[in-house]
Chain A
Amino acid sequence: AQRVTQPEKLLSVFKGAPVELKCNYSYSGSPELFWYVQYSRQRLQLLLRHISRESIKGFTADLNKGETSFHLKKPFAQEEDSAMYYCAPSAGGSYIPTFGRGTSLIVHP
């Protein structure tokens, strides 16, 4: 069965500290990996996708196929990074994402 695990419900850091939001997945085949973000009172939106090898707002995510992980990282957290983050692997012809339960990131000043 497809499963995605975000072990931390809440992650609290101070501004300027490094941050890592963990994501582990269990999927048949080779899924595509995505991170979505929801800022306070805003819509859910795509943050980044593995296939594009992109860095968005200073965030990067490395795929580790051996550990089946896709952790989201940022070297220096900013207050505006405070949000809910969802890891979402997807597979199949329509690439419908399976969302984790989310990690709430709070960056303190």
Chain B
Amino acid sequence: GAGVSQSPRYKVAKRGQDVALRCDPISGHVSLFWYQQALGQGPEFLTYFQNEAQLDKSGLPSDRFFAERPEGSVSTLKIQRTQQEDSAVYLCASSLSTGPLNEQFFGPGTRLTVL
């Protein structure tokens, strides 16, 4: 079946613009994760959903970042008033459930460039 998909794959924004990044998880996967990967770094956790409930948003760097998953499937990460330091690859991952035996499946990422 289809894996995790993300759109757009590339996004260029002017500083101060709002952006919305979409993630389509694998059908039936309960858990959904967002990560931010800066150039030359590993992915850093942003937020986590179990179904529609956002159980952990401790990694969101500021209140300009907002994520939702209203129907427990597709998720959107919104960044308001983008800044240059927001430039990164944003990864989405989903898993059937949580726990150490549940593999996270990653999407291809959205590369955001803020000018």
Q: Using a CB–CB distance below 8 Å, which chain A residues touch chain B?
A: 32, 43-46, 49, 51-52, 86, 88, 90, 93-102
Supplied contacts A43-B108, A93-B98, A95-B100, 11 more A-B pairs, CB within 8 Å: A43-B107, A49-B101, A51-B100, A51-B101, A86-B42, A94-B31, A95-B98, A95-B99, A99-B42, A99-B44, A102-B42
Q: Does the CB pair A98–B45 fall under 8 Å?
A: yes
Asked if A96 meets B41 with Cβ closer than 8 Å, knowing A44-B106, A49-B100, the reply is no
Tell me the nearest residue of chain B to A94, going by C-beta. B98
Contacts of A49 in B (CB 8 A): 100-101
Contacts of B98 in A (CB 8 A): 93-95
Contacts of A86 in B (CB 8 A): 42-43
Q: Does the CB pair A96–B100 fall under 8 Å?
A: no
Cα-based distance from A17 to B106 in the complex (angstroms): 30
Q: Does the CB pair B106–A45 fall under 8 Å?
A: yes
Contacts of A52 in B (CB 8 A): 101
